[in-house]
Structure 1
Amino acid sequence: MKKITSLLILAALFVGISSCDKGFDELNVNPTAVTSLNPVFTFNNAIISTAFPASSLIFEHPIVQQMYSPNSGVLAGGNFNVDNRGSAGPNAALWQGYFRNNIRYLVDVLNQTKNDANRSNLYNMVRIWKAYSFMVLTDSYGDIPYTEAGLGYIGGNTAPKYDTQESIYNDLIKELTEASAALDAAKPTEAGEVAYGGNIPRWKRFGYSLMLRVGMRLSKVNPTLAQSTVQKAVAGGVFQSNADNAVVRNDANYQNPVGVTLNSTEAANYYLTGYFVDYLKATADPRLASIAVRYVGAKSGPEQVAARIDRTPSIQIGMPLGYDNGSIPARAAADKLASFYDYSQLDRTRMGKLTAPTYLVTYAQTQLLLAEAAVRGWTTGNAADYYNAGVRAHMQQLGDYDATSLVSDANIATYLTANPYVATKGLELINTQYWVASFLNGPEVFANFRRSGFPKLTPNPYPGKEIKGNFINRLTYPDLEISVNKAKVDEAIARQGADNLDTRVWWDKQ
């Protein structure tokens, strides 16, 4: 009997244990935890990470002579026409930021949505944004990973092959053609995305405006393909106003990388160039009052205080090129300034502030490209009308940085009357205005300068340059990329040319 009782107790214990095990898995799952991430949130991360890195202040802006630093070391680059590599050099910032974040996020979303009929609009929005991102990368470096890019954590490919820039551009045209046409307002519109809030007509106009840019980029290397691409873009429907601008809306949580640099460690180290300021002054351009500021009489960085601020256009003095930290003090004295801290800077309380938007593709740029297309006979319409619309749009766009930066309609009219479009100088006028309208979009202003040859800049006279030509033609591949993907990088170099600042990208033909 005692044995039977013991067996019954043991059986009861097993039943109890079995009963306790029922629902064990459920008890160990947090009912409020996220088990899957809506891909639109990943897409938003990609959009935010498209804002240009602060390295554009080291390379692109000095190359096109808009902003400049006389300092060497970590700030050396376009200011002295030298490379600046190293494992985390400024030549790597765009590469690392885009491939590590932007491209990786975009490829992930494409992988999640490609077979989901309910997310077809999201899928095609991502294709358009991916085309933009890869255009920035290939324009900056030349041949890059494209077809195998972003597959490291999806397919385990950590050594992607490099595609030729020509093949990349051919695919960009295909992607933009297909994705722009496939967007459909009758399907779920993805109101949660932060670029256009799911507005399908604006997404379509973005896709076709980007296609216009792609087409115009090919004007020297393949005019036939350039013309057909431009015509396809115009037929699809490009931007109609500044409301269509493709822009990253930086805020207190996702600050503008350029603004962060200009308001912290390098606040006193970057200046508007003499060429840029003098051009705006010579044409009485009202945008100078929106862009520039002088801390009059400042003898040091700490003396650049609000009490010294003067935004009067007539007193702005841009820093001349060709000087370094050792030689600029004497030049500043010759210019009758208190020190080099007295030269004009980008106003970091307005256009250069922490929350300043980052413009990617704009109505102003689009109208100016249409003006050039009209000059070339690739589209209908009057080049002068497109030109005037582009200039006007950029002046109005400045009000988006700060209400006090807006150029009034009266000042716009005065400027256009005093600086009319002249057909005999059409390409120069159009692309010089594109240079101004693309200010703070480092990759684009650098690319269009190489493509068009305008504005006609005098080469930086700094004596210590590393380049053989007059201007830097591309960014070099980062050392970190070479260390982890050397075989594929070497293949690209053998095909494209030496990995230096002189080698031209495919579309940049002399």
Structure 2
Amino acid sequence: MKKKFLYTPLIALLVGLSSCDKGFDQLNINPTAATSLNPVFTFNNAIINTSFPGSTLIFEEGIVQQIFTPNSGINSGGNFNIDNRGPTGNNGGLWRQYYQNNIRYLIDVLTQTKSDANRTNLYNMVRIWKAYSFMVLTDTYGDIPYTEAGLGYLSQNTTPKYDTQESIYNDLIKELTEASAALDASKTIETGDVMYAGNITKWKRFGYSTLLRVGMRLSKVNPTLAQSTVQKAVAGGLMQSNADNAVVKNDANYKNGVGNTLTSTEAANFYLTKNFVDYLKSTSDPRLTSIAVRYVGAKSGPEQTAARASKDPAVQIGMPMGYDNGTIPARVTADGLASFYDYSQLDRTRMGKFDAPCYLVTYAQTQLLLAEAAQRGWTTGNAADYYNAGVTAHMIQLGDYDATSLVPTAAITAYLQQNPYVAAKGLELINTQYWVASLLNGPEAFANFRRSGYPALTPNPYPGKEIKGSFINRLSYPDSEASVNLAKLTEAINRQGPDNLDTRVWWDKQ
């Protein structure tokens, strides 16, 4: 009888355990969590992360002599013509952001949509964005991982080969041409994309305008291919107004990297250069009022207050290059200023805001490139008309930063009358305007300066430079590449040239 009482509860317990097993595999699954992610959202993440990092202030903006700091340490780079390496070196800022937060997302979306007949527009939009992103990377560094890039998670390829810049450019032409042509308004419209909300016409114009940029980049190394590429782009259809601009609209959650740097730890450390301010003043350019602010009489960062702020172009004084913290005080005295905090800055309440838009490819730039193409005889149209349209578009574009930055129509008309296009100086005028129109797009200003040779800048006279030439020609690879991909990196260096600031990229021929 005792055994009977013992076995009965044991059997009941086993039966209970068996019933509890049902659904056990679902116990730790969140019933409200997403099981898959719409790839357009991943694409949006890539788009947002295309906004340039603050490191472009350290190198690109300083190299092209628009924005500059006299401070050393982590801010050393283009201001002193020296490299800035290390685990978090600013030479690798663009590399880290694009490969980690842009390229890998784009490759993921391409993989998901390549065979999906319902997402062909998304697939081709991503191809266009990928081409733009890789153009920025290869223009900055030269040979880079391209065909095998972004495959670490998908195929466990963590040591991608470096492709030659020439082969990359050939593929950029193919990708932009094919993807732009393949976009089809009769197929699924990707209204969730944050750039153009799936507008096929605007995506096509962005693709072909980027192709125009690719073509013009080849003007020195392969004029024949440059011309034919320009003609493909023009035939495809380019941007028609500022409404077509490719611009990342930043906000409090997705901050402008440059603006965030200028409004936080480096607020009092970066200044408009004397070369840039003097150029705008010499032509009575109304954009100076839109761009600059001077905290008159400021003796320190905390004294850069609204009460001292002046946007009057007549009082703007750019900081001369060639100085550091030890030598700038004497120049400050010679200029009759209170301190180096008294020089003109990019206005942090307008163009330098943390949520300022980041312009990638614009109608203004496109019109100026068309002006050069017409000047070279590579396309039809009047170079002067394209030139005037490009300058006008940029002056209007400034109003998107802040209503007070919009250049009035009358001021635009007066400026163009006082500074007319002259064919004999066409290439210089066009590309100097391109320099102004590319303010805050450091990678593009740097690339076009190397390609065109304009504006005609005086080399930075800082005595401690590491470069042998007059200007930095490329950025060095980040140190992390030597740690994780040394063999492939070495192949690239042996092929391209020393990994320093003097080595030229493929298209930058003397």
1:286 corresponds to which residue? 286
Matched, 1:175 2:211: no
1:472 corresponds to which residue? 472
Alpha-carbon distance, 1:153 to partner: 1.1
Matched, 1:26 2:39: no
Q: Which amino acid aligns with 2:175?
A: E
2:202 corresponds to which residue? 202
Distance in 1 (CA, whole Å) between partners of 2:156 and 2:68 is: 41
1:333 corresponds to which residue? 333
Alpha-carbon distance, 1:25 to partner: 2.7
Distance in 2 (CA, whole Å) between partners of 1:384 and 1:429 is: 10
The residue correspondences of 1:484-499 to structure 2 (distance < 5 A) are 484-499=484-499
Distance in 1 (CA, whole Å) between partners of 2:293 and 2:346 is: 6
2:303 corresponds to which residue? 303
Alpha-carbon distance, 1:31 to partner: 1.1
The residue correspondences of 1:237-248 to structure 2 (distance < 5 A) are 237-248=237-248
Q: Counterpart of 1:350 in 2: which secondary structure?
A: coil
Distance in 1 (CA, whole Å) between partners of 2:334 and 2:5 is: 108
Q: Counterpart of 1:345 in 2: which secondary structure?
A: strand
Alpha-carbon distance, 1:500 to partner: 0.7
2:187 corresponds to which residue? 187
Distance in 1 (CA, whole Å) between partners of 2:6 and 2:263 is: 79
Which deviations, in whole Å up to 9, do the C-alpha atoms of 1:333-368 show, x marking residues without a partner? 111111111010000000001110000000000000
2:225 corresponds to which residue? 225
Q: Which amino acid aligns with 1:386?
A: Y
Residues 340 and 153 of structure 1: is their aligned pair in 2 closer, same or farther, counting only changes over 3 Å?
A: same
Distance in 2 (CA, whole Å) between partners of 1:422 and 1:3 is: 111
Q: Which structure 2 segments of 5+ residues have no match? A: none
The residue correspondences of 1:425-440 to structure 2 (distance < 5 A) are 425-440=425-440
Q: Which amino acid aligns with 1:89?
A: G
1:320 corresponds to which residue? 320
Which deviations, in whole Å up to 9, do the C-alpha atoms of 1:125-161 show, x marking residues without a partner? 1111110110000000000000000111111111100
Alpha-carbon distance, 1:18 to partner: 3.3
Distance in 2 (CA, whole Å) between partners of 1:206 and 1:112 is: 23
The residue correspondences of 1:145-160 to structure 2 (distance < 5 A) are 145-160=145-160
| Structure 1 moving runs of 4+ over 6 Å | 1-9
Q: Which amino acid aligns with 1:473?
A: N
1:143 corresponds to which residue? 143
Alpha-carbon distance, 1:73 to partner: 1.1
Distance in 1 (CA, whole Å) between partners of 2:302 and 2:30 is: 52
TM-score by length of 2: 0.98
The residue correspondences of 1:340-359 to structure 2 (distance < 5 A) are 340-359=340-359
Alpha-carbon distance, 1:119 to partner: 1.2
Q: Which amino acid aligns with 1:187?
A: K
Distance in 1 (CA, whole Å) between partners of 2:350 and 2:104 is: 32
Which deviations, in whole Å up to 9, do the C-alpha atoms of 1:425-475 show, x marking residues without a partner? 111100000000000000000000000000000111111111111000000
Q: Which structure 1 segments of 5+ residues have no match? A: none
Q: Counterpart of 1:247 in 2: which secondary structure?
A: strand
1:98 corresponds to which residue? 98
Matched, 1:447 2:438: no
2:405 corresponds to which residue? 405
Q: Which amino acid aligns with 1:115?
A: S
Alpha-carbon distance, 1:8 to partner: 7.2
2:38 corresponds to which residue? 38
Distance in 1 (CA, whole Å) between partners of 2:490 and 2:300 is: 46
Q: Which amino acid aligns with 2:224?
A: T
1:269 corresponds to which residue? 269
Q: Which amino acid aligns with 2:320?
A: P
Which deviations, in whole Å up to 9, do the C-alpha atoms of 1:94-130 show, x marking residues without a partner? 1111111111111111111111111111111111111
Which deviations, in whole Å up to 9, do the C-alpha atoms of 1:152-176 show, x marking residues without a partner? 1111111100000000000001111
Distance in 2 (CA, whole Å) between partners of 1:83 and 1:463 is: 14
1:127 corresponds to which residue? 127
TM-score by length of 1: 0.98
